Structure 1
Amino acid sequence: MAPVRDPYEVLGVPRDADQPQIQRAYRGLAREHHPDVNKDPEAEERFKDASEAYAILSDPDKRRRYDAFGPDFERVPEDVDPETWARARAGAGAGPFGGFGGGFEGGAYEGGRYEGGFEGAGIKDLLGGLFGGRRAGRAGWGGPAPGADQEAELEVTVEEAYRGGRRTLTLGGGSRRRTVDVAIPPGVTDGQRIRLAGQGGRGMEGGPAGDLYLVVRLAPHPRYRVEGRDLHVDLPLAPWEAALGTTAPVDTPGGEAKVGVPPGSSSGRRLRLRGRGLPDPRGAPGDLYARVRVLVPGKLTGEERRLFEELAAASSFDPRRR
């Protein structure tokens, strides 16, 4: 069996890395090299290396034993002292196996097996002689490896974010093409992740599948601008509505609402409709802000022109001297 690669080197983390660092490193490599998303012929081997490394470093006992015994940690009996093991390995590499009490002249220790002076003296034979016949641990590395978590973007409309909904997505291509059903909860916001348990990458050797995380992206909307859970919308008003005040209808994702416009409202003024933004399953909903935009007729009738001229003559208002 080939020796276990250094899991710290495989994941690219320092030897004192904590579990969040290890998990982030593994997820990044798994996303990059999982065969479901990477068609490079070497990707599957890199993914397997990362999964094996993660299986060691994510298990406190395996990590402790790897730190103590190195790549052969799974072959070493549970009750072996690390210093005793180190002395045995040093003796094994010395030539005549001085560390084992001598007697195996002319041999060499390579890859967990003694070759030369004693035919067939594998590492379990050497350990048996050193530790009173106790069996070495498992013969090799293997076993189930969890599938990689995966991410994809899910574009939703403001209306879907407000009401929720369902969507069927097609992921992958070719022989790996598949569909997943997604429930969009009301009140999702841009950047929020929806977790689909067990819908990620396939596990290895019977290991569990990873999770699929859908990152919500709100599609641009012709009417609404979204900030968190607050919605912003323009409110067009005629000059007389802005000057005299009025009650104006406003479209919201939940239906039409009415907003009171105070007299003397200029363009840019924001009118707040409390609780008419995106809902929040854990708290108060956002607000909707209607921004006043005063519009004038593009083409005046004769009567309109006359009335505007009368207003201009009668008014002392100067918008440039405010």
Structure 2
Amino acid sequence: MQYKDYYKIMELSRNATQDEIKRAYRKLARKYHPDVSKEKEAEAKFKELGEAYEVLKDPEKRAAYDRLGANWKAGEDFRPPPNWDEGFEFKGGGFTGGDAGIFSDFFEQLFGRAGFRPSEYGARGFHARGQDTHAKIYIDLEDSVHGSTRNISLSAPATDAQGHVQVKQRNLNIKIPKGIKPGQHIRLTGQGNPGSGSGKAGDLLLEIAFNPHPLYRVSESDIYLDLPVTPWEAALGAKIKVPTPEGNVDLKIPPNSRQGSKLRLKGRGLPAKTPGDFYVALQIALPPANTEREKAVYQKMQQELDFNPRLSLGV
């Protein structure tokens, strides 16, 4: 996926005002409109211009895009930095997903997710409820397993009197409920945009994502662990200690266990009315053969064991 330099496409500096962005779009749209332009590849440039304007005209999308930094070059291979959208508070910039296919993969990767949509409370009036705002936050697996209280920092874009987009910060203490899963939301009543007149403030909806864990993976309410075992533990069976988010447990490895075999610890996944399970995937770890003694052990196995792992392949 190639990085798009929207400022370069619109021939603008990164500190351009919102009015300057509008003027630049009108000028370039006339230049590259396929119906009138004589420029080479006018249609492709007009489409690229429309995508750049879709982002830069909207303070929320623009602030999110600016988070990626100014060190990328147009056309470079690009992957969004991990957790780039963490704590970014927005109410929706107008992209609903209905335009899929019109914009580039780069745009879709950043703004095609469900969050960048108009709020369901878009009404305007003297006494109108404020819009809901949204943000994505990353928590640790243990926060969900045990429940916790976290201090989070949110960044929200705003346009100043000169038309420049600025990012304002605010901190909140939130309670993480036990058993919350990635993709679920925490609703903070009254923490969204202020209402008009005597209208109530909107709510803040926090989408939950998990930080990568050094040991575990999560799928729905289940937790997975890749567990290294020795060849003799897999072949002969063993009773070994296994780490779980709630402490070590003793696990019985059945004899003749195979690579990738899954063992289940029922009810030891994420807590819930029906709790998830904890799965152990066996990964057989081979001892090294660096010393003469270690090599001799392998040579003895080779001589004494009638074993061909490729027998099922017919070779």
Question: Which TM class, normalised by the smaller chain length?
Answer: 0.5 to 0.7
Specify the alignment match of 1:158 in structure 2: 141
What CA distance in whole angstroms lies between the structure 2 residues aligned with 1:175 and 1:241?
56
Amino acid at match of 2:241: P
Unpaired stretches in structure 1, ≥5 consecutive residues: 1-29, 35-45, 53-141
Cα deviation, 1:259-278, whole Å, max 9, x if unaligned, reads 11111112111111111111
Q: State whether structure 2 residue 123 is matched by structure 1 residue 51.
A: yes
Specify the alignment match of 2:113 in structure 1: none
Specify the alignment match of 1:203 in structure 2: 195
SS at match of 1:190: coil
Amino acid at match of 1:32: G
Q: State whether structure 2 residue 222 is matched by structure 1 residue 230.
A: yes
SS at match of 1:188: coil
Look at both structures and tell me which one has the larger radius of gyration over its CA atoms.
Answer: 1
Specify the alignment match of 1:317 in structure 2: 307
TM-score if structure 1 supplies the norm length?
0.54
Q: State whether structure 2 residue 198 is matched by structure 1 residue 215.
A: no
Specify the alignment match of 2:91 in structure 1: 31
SS at match of 2:92: helix
Give the % identical residues: 37
Residue 206 of structure 1: how far off its partner (Å): 2.5
Q: Could you tell me which of 274, 281, 306 is aligned with 1:291?
A: 281
What CA distance in whole angstroms lies between the structure 1 residues aligned with 2:185 and 2:191?
14
* Alignment size in residue pairs: 190
What CA distance in whole angstroms lies between the structure 1 residues aligned with 2:288 and 2:297?
15
Specify the alignment match of 1:250 in structure 2: 242
Specify the alignment match of 1:274 in structure 2: 266
SS at match of 1:152: strand
Structure number with the bigger relative contact order (C-alpha 8 A, sep ≥ 6) is 2
Specify the alignment match of 2:298 in structure 1: 308
Q: Could you tell me which of 221, 233, 240 is aligned with 2:232?
A: 240
1:7-86 equivalence runs, <5 A:
31-32=91-92, 50-52=122-124
SS at match of 1:159: helix
SS at match of 2:123: helix
What CA distance in whole angstroms lies between the structure 1 residues aligned with 2:132 and 2:292?
69
Amino acid at match of 2:140: T
SS at match of 2:190: coil
SS at match of 2:311: coil
Relative to structure 1, the CA distance from residue 206 to residue 33 in structure 2 (aligned partners, 3 Å threshold; closer, same or farther) is farther
Cα deviation, 1:144-177, whole Å, max 9, x if unaligned, reads 1111111101101111121111112222356953
Residue 255 of structure 1: how far off its partner (Å): 0.8
Residue 254 of structure 1: how far off its partner (Å): 0.6
Q: State whether structure 2 residue 157 is matched by structure 1 residue 167.
A: no
State which drifts further: 267-276 or 312-321: 312-321
Unpaired stretches in structure 2, ≥5 consecutive residues: 1-89, 95-117, 157-165
What CA distance in whole angstroms lies between the structure 2 residues aligned with 1:300 and 1:244?
25
Which has the larger share of helix? 1
SS at match of 1:177: strand
Amino acid at match of 2:131: A
What CA distance in whole angstroms lies between the structure 1 residues aligned with 2:203 and 2:306?
68
Specify the alignment match of 2:18 in structure 1: none
Cα deviation, 1:107-130, whole Å, max 9, x if unaligned, reads xxxxxxxxxxxxxxxxxxxxxxxx
State the 4+ residue runs in structure 1 displaced beyond 4 angstroms. 173-176
Specify the alignment match of 1:146 in structure 2: 129
Amino acid at match of 1:191: G
Residue 302 of structure 1: how far off its partner (Å): 3.5
